[in-house]
Amino acid sequence: MRFEFRPAPMRFPSSAGLEPEALASAWGDWTWQMRRSLTHRSDFEAYFELSPSERRGFELSGFQVRCTPYYAALASETAAGDEFDPLRLILMPRAEESAEQVTQEQWDPLGERRNLKTPRLVHRYPDRVLFLVTDFCSVYCRYCTRKHFTGGELAFAREPEYREALEYIRAQTGIREVILSGGDPLTLSDAILDRVLSDLRKIEHVEIIRLGTRMPVVCPMRVTEDLVRMLKRHKPVYVMTHFNHPRELTQEAAVALEKFVDHGHPVFNQMVLLNGVNNDARIVQALSRRLLYLRVKPYYMFQCDPSRGTDHLRTSVEDSLRVQRELWGRLSGLALPQLSLDIPDGGGKAGLVPQFEIQCEGDEQQGTRRTYVGWDGVESVYISPPRSRWRAPLDASAYEEEWRSLRHAQSRDAQHSEG
């Protein structure tokens, strides 16, 4: 028997003047979810009993507030009066966002503005770029790391900015991957996305396109048959989702994820560890197992960046490492996400791994004797041999040439079969 996930509730305030039948047909339309999104405090009051801290949050937050009816219904399902509900902490502004005493908070913690090569293109690593195709999201997550750009009401790049970004990618032949981000690229229409992907596919050195999106979480009806078929014409397109809590994996979200995978799009999940949301190994474990069952690889578990207004949500590094250590024994490698921290100001990613090695004797020339303690306390020694003089033969230019001709042959075949 096929396992079914729990469907999300379908709740819309009766005062909004929609009959149950009309609601049932509108609910599954993603454009309706966009149009009827909650943006004002009064919209949220129709779903939640706001606490004093949340009411202050609406007055003081310097970051936009927005939520789809779908995600609001999901977040208000268990306890409309519980201000510490995990999903509610993700979507609702709180007074703590504007606290005066903060540990380390910035509008641009990753130093992306410094690496902007055009107004919409961040180029930090030699082989990949981040293309900020829109700054719009259907839900503004309170922990967002890109508050310097997201939610500025700029939407899709203006024509000159769009062309400038494409020109840059075309000119930089070392770029292999383009990550479509923002904002959320899946808030754009199929037609606009199709245009962006077609333009990128005309650039020969672009091999991989990644799509970073939270729409399968907050508006899974966005993932239509038309969308996944269109994406398939531009393969390989990797989909990077952003589930943070097992409750977000509803039947609707599961159907959306399966559509991607069934059409050949590899899906990876990146989550953020957050206080009161998922900072317990059992929660991450439940999320990871469900994702893996749906053929989604739990990829990264991020330490929350010191983005403005996130001090109350950020876990301590020690807490994050404790979660990772517990997961080590409970999850298979396939289901285990990697804990990672972005070094502020553009330092790139640093993997955070629990300390398993407790002693190291000797040196590399002579060989070392290393003592480890596993996740459940088993202690043993690994004797590392001395450094070898044998090096693997390397002919990088030949590999490169071979790969280029393979790709040419593949794209010729693809054009032939489409024609």
Q: Which positions are catalytic?
A: 124-125, 128, 137, 141, 144, 146, 305, 342, 349
Q: How far is the CB of 242 from ligand SF4 (least distance, A)?
A: 6
Query: How would DSSP label each residue in 217-247?
Result: HH-GGG--HHHHHHHHTT--EEEEE---SGG
Binding mask 100-129 for ligand SF4 (x = CB under 6 A): ------------------------------
214 vs 314 by CB, closer to ligand SF4 = 214
Distance CA 91, CA 83 (A): 11
Distance CA 7, CA 26 (A): 17
Binding mask 314-353 for ligand SF4 (x = CB under 6 A): ----------------------------------------
Contact indicator for 121, 130 with CB cutoff of 8 Å:
yes
132 vs 331 by CB, closer to ligand SF4 = 132
Residue from 70, 140, 156, 162 touching ligand SF4 (CB under 6 A): that is 140
**Hey, how many other C-beta atoms are within 10 angstroms of the C-beta on 41?**
15
CA angle, 25 as apex, 19 and 31 as ends, to 5°?
Answer: 110
**Hey, how many other C-beta atoms are within 10 angstroms of the C-beta on 2?**
3
The region of 20-28, 96-104, 135-143, 321-329 touching ligand SF4 under the rule CB under 6 A is 135-143
The region of 29-37, 143-151, 283-291, 347-355 touching ligand SF4 under the rule CB under 6 A is 143-151
Q: How far is the CB of 55 from ligand SF4 (least distance, A)?
A: 21
Three-class DSSP category at 214 = coil
Q: How far is the CB of 381 from ligand SF4 (least distance, A)?
A: 44
Q: How far is the CB of 284 from ligand SF4 (least distance, A)?
A: 18
Joined tokens for residue 69: 């009816």
Residue 150 near ligand SF4 by CB under 6 A: yes
**Hey, how many other C-beta atoms are within 10 angstroms of the C-beta on 185?**
24
Residue from 120, 146, 247, 290 touching ligand SF4 (CB under 6 A): that is 146
123 vs 214 by CB, closer to ligand SF4 = 214
The region of 53-61, 114-122, 137-145, 400-408 touching ligand SF4 under the rule CB under 6 A is 137-145
**Hey, how many other C-beta atoms are within 10 angstroms of the C-beta on 238?**
17
Torsion, CA 11, CA 16, CA 17, CA 19, rounded to 10: -10
- Exposed/middle/buried for residue 118 (C-beta within 10 Å: 0-12, 13-18, 19+): buried
Residue 259 near ligand SF4 by CB under 6 A: no
Nearest to 136 by CA among 87, 189, 90, 194: 189
Joined tokens for residue 227: 């969308």
Q: How far is the CB of 140 from ligand SF4 (least distance, A)?
A: 5
Three-class DSSP category at 312 = coil
63 vs 162 by CB, closer to ligand SF4 = 63
Beta pairing, strands 237-241 & 177-181 = unpaired
Q: How far is the CB of 395 from ligand SF4 (least distance, A)?
A: 42
65 vs 206 by CB, closer to ligand SF4 = 65
Map the footprint of ligand SF4 across residues 207-246, applying CB under 6 A: 214
183 vs 246 by CB, closer to ligand SF4 = 183
Count the site residues for ligand SF4 by CB under 6 A: 9
18 vs 155 by CB, closer to ligand SF4 = 155
Residue from 137, 178, 277, 284 touching ligand SF4 (CB under 6 A): that is 137
Q: How far is the CB of 181 from ligand SF4 (least distance, A)?
A: 7
Alpha-carbon distance values, 347 to 109, 111, 114, 123, 341 (Å): 10, 8, 12, 13, 10
Beta bridge partners of 211: 180, 239
**CB burial string 251-263: b at 16+ within 10 A, e below:** ebbbbbbbbbeeb
**Residues in CB range of 347: below 8 A, 6 or more apart:** 111
Contact indicator for 322, 284 with CB cutoff of 8 Å:
no
Residue 131 near ligand SF4 by CB under 6 A: no
85 vs 184 by CB, closer to ligand SF4 = 184
Residue 184 near ligand SF4 by CB under 6 A: yes
Residue 305 near ligand SF4 by CB under 6 A: no
Positions touching ligand SF4 (CB under 6 A) are 137, 140-141, 144, 146, 150, 183-184, 214
